[in-house]
Amino acid sequence: MFWFAGISALTLTRKRTTAAQNRLLFFYGGICGKITREAVSMHFQTFTPQDATGLISLIGLIAIFIGLLFLVRRTQRKRQQRGLVNPSAAAKPFPQPSLISPDIPAQEEVVFNERQAALRQAYEEWQATYLLRGLDGTTEFLRGETHKRGLRYQLTSTTLAQGLGMFIQTQMAQNDDDSRDRFERMLAHLLGHPALDYPALSSWLCMPDLPTSTRLEPDPHAEAWILGALLAARKQWGGLQRFDLDLIFHERAGALLDFLKDPQPDRESVFSPTLYRLIAREQPDQTWQAQTTADWQAILPLLRKRSDLPGRQEGLSLLQIGLEGLFYPGDGFSERAALALARLKRAQSTPSVLTGEVEEGFSQIASFCCLGPLALLEANREKQEQVWLTLTQAQPAKQDSTGANLRLLAMMSMAGTLWLE
């Protein structure tokens, strides 16, 4: 009877309990019953020092178990909060018809609508396949290849995949969804893995499942995409909740500029002139404009190569020309565009089914997708449709988050929804 009274009094205070809490409640109820019995018996017995010691011990046990109940409940609330959607208003909700003329024929409008529906589905599949939560639940990263460390294989993530993924979040955001929260979790992942000698930038590769990961040098091209994503985030949401967006942007931009001023002969150059042009609008340093001009000049020899599918350096540089042509073609663009479109035509002559095998961090799918934005500069509608069909049929491997990101970026451009800050 006393035990039942104790447990009933406690359970009336809670409507829902977990299995762990129930076990604690039963134990607590038993203690309450015992205390009640002790209290009744002490009315009829002399209160001895031994009784006082026993009562104090019981009170201590009660305090311990109340503390345990509190900790269980707090942990449960934290887990629930991590799964909650924190909606935010989007200034440019998907789909934005940024690359679609307002007076296009109705037939072409139908084509764009169908492409946007396919893009939305591809984006949902991308989220389910490549995005993973960090160990603490407050970060999120895009899975990459597995690398052997000791006797185990560890999952990796790169800043290029992360930067492209953050940019994709700004493009696909809608009103009242959790895109901003996801963007912040992805940014938190980058901030948690600083680069060697440049702590304001991020290590180009990390192992998120380890408590600590080796600090490596930054990837300047990836950092340019991260800065572009930060600018797009400001345009989309105005700011962030957990971080000072403008402070992070200016700190990273300054650190990237310092890194670029210290060139190394053995460092692979992936050119980023279109992204540097965006950054230059926010940073008054003339070095950005000089870097933009130097990158355009360096790209030309790459365009004259006779290979079919470009490698990582060529592909990511060709992507810059496609973006330039879609948004603000500058001096010398006609020559760059002619050479780039010639590369696109050669790439279209490759087998229609692209392999998802990743070699040196870059797959055939990633290579082809870098040429996607160039397809809108192609006047031949039939050729455009061929590129779109290849994109929709491409299946990046599970470890090829970079290829999956570039595929979405190419699909955005061909669906007419891609926009820059």
**Number of domains the chain contains:** 2
Identify which has the larger pLDDT, 333 or 124. 124
Identify which has the larger pLDDT, 70 or 96. 96
Contact 379, 337 (CB under 8 A): no
What's the DSSP call for residue 95?
A: P
d(CA 229, CA 171): 9
**Statement to judge: residues 130 and 170 lie in one domain:** yes
State the Cα torsion 95-100-103-105 to the nearest 10°.
-90
**Statement to judge: residues 131 and 72 lie in one domain:** no
The average pLDDT across 376-384 equals: 83
d(CA 202, CA 39): 63
Instruction: Give the pLDDT score at 309.
Output: 65
**Statement to judge: residues 157 and 237 lie in one domain:** yes
The average pLDDT across 69-93 equals: 62
**Statement to judge: residues 140 and 265 lie in one domain:** yes
Identify which has the larger pLDDT, 149 or 25. 149
Identify which has the larger pLDDT, 105 or 222. 222
The average pLDDT across 3-31 equals: 43
d(CA 253, CA 371): 27
> Range of 333's domain?
106-414
Identify whether 274 is part of a domain. yes
d(CA 367, CA 204): 20
d(CA 284, CA 287): 9
Instruction: Give the pLDDT score at 356.
Output: 66
Contact 237, 169 (CB under 8 A): no
> Which of residues 83, 115, 136 is at a domain's end?
83
The average pLDDT across 282-301 equals: 88
**Statement to judge: residues 149 and 53 lie in one domain:** no
DSSP 19-46: HHHHHHHHHHHHHHHHHHHHHHHHTSS-
Identify whether 180 is part of a domain. yes
- The total of other beta-carbon atoms located within 10 Å of residue 26's CB is 15
Identify whether 88 is part of a domain. no
Q: For all residues of the chain together, what is the average pLDDT? A: 82
- Per-residue burial over 144-171, b = 16 or more CB atoms within 10 Å of its CB, e = otherwise: bbeeeeeeeebbbbbbbbbbbbbbbbbb
d(CA 235, CA 63): 52
The average pLDDT across 202-210 equals: 93
CA distances in angstroms from 208 to 78, 154, 296, 360, listed in the order given? 21, 8, 35, 20
d(CA 114, CA 298): 38
**Statement to judge: residues 200 and 281 lie in one domain:** yes
Confidence of residue 263 (pLDDT cuts 50, 70, 90): confident
d(CA 66, CA 143): 41
Amino acid at 170: T
**Statement to judge: residues 79 and 112 lie in one domain:** no
Identify whether 35 is part of a domain. yes
**Is 147 strand, coil or helix?**
strand
pLDDT above 70: percentage of residues in the chain = 79
Identify whether 349 is part of a domain. yes
Instruction: Give the pLDDT score at 50.
Output: 67
Confidence of residue 379 (pLDDT cuts 50, 70, 90): confident
Using the predicted structure, report yes or no on whether residue 185 has a pLDDT greater than 90. Answer: yes
pLDDT winner (highest mean) among 38-52, 74-88, 173-187, 266-280:
173-187
**CA triplet 420, 171, 179: central angle to 5 degrees?**
135
For 296-346, give the secondary structure using H, E and C: HHHHHHHHCCCCCCCCHHHHHHHHHHHHHHHHCCCCCHHHHHHHHHHHHHH
**Statement to judge: residues 316 and 257 lie in one domain:** yes
Tell me the HSE value of 382 on the side-chain side, using a 13 A CA sphere.
0
Identify whether 369 is part of a domain. yes
d(CA 371, CA 163): 19
The average pLDDT across 50-62 equals: 75
CATH of the domain at 201: 1.50.10.10
Tell me the HSE value of 378 on the side-chain side, using a 13 A CA sphere.
24
**Each residue's pLDDT tens digit, 111-123:** 889 999 999 999 9
**Statement to judge: residues 69 and 171 lie in one domain:** no
Tell me the HSE value of 11 on the side-chain side, using a 13 A CA sphere.
17
Instruction: Give the pLDDT score at 331.
Output: 79
The average pLDDT across 128-149 equals: 90
**Statement to judge: residues 66 and 129 lie in one domain:** no
Using the predicted structure, report yes or no on whether residue 128 has a pLDDT greater than 70. Answer: yes
Closest-CA residue to 183 (of 195, 193, 172): 172
Using the predicted structure, report yes or no on whether residue 176 has a pLDDT greater than 50. Answer: yes
Identify whether 101 is part of a domain. no
The average pLDDT across 31-58 equals: 58
Identify whether 93 is part of a domain. no
Query: Among 53-67, 226-240, 244-258, where is mean pLDDT lowest?
Result: 53-67
**Statement to judge: residues 69 and 111 lie in one domain:** no
Instruction: Give the pLDDT score at 67.
Output: 75
d(CA 167, CA 287): 24
**Statement to judge: residues 38 and 130 lie in one domain:** no
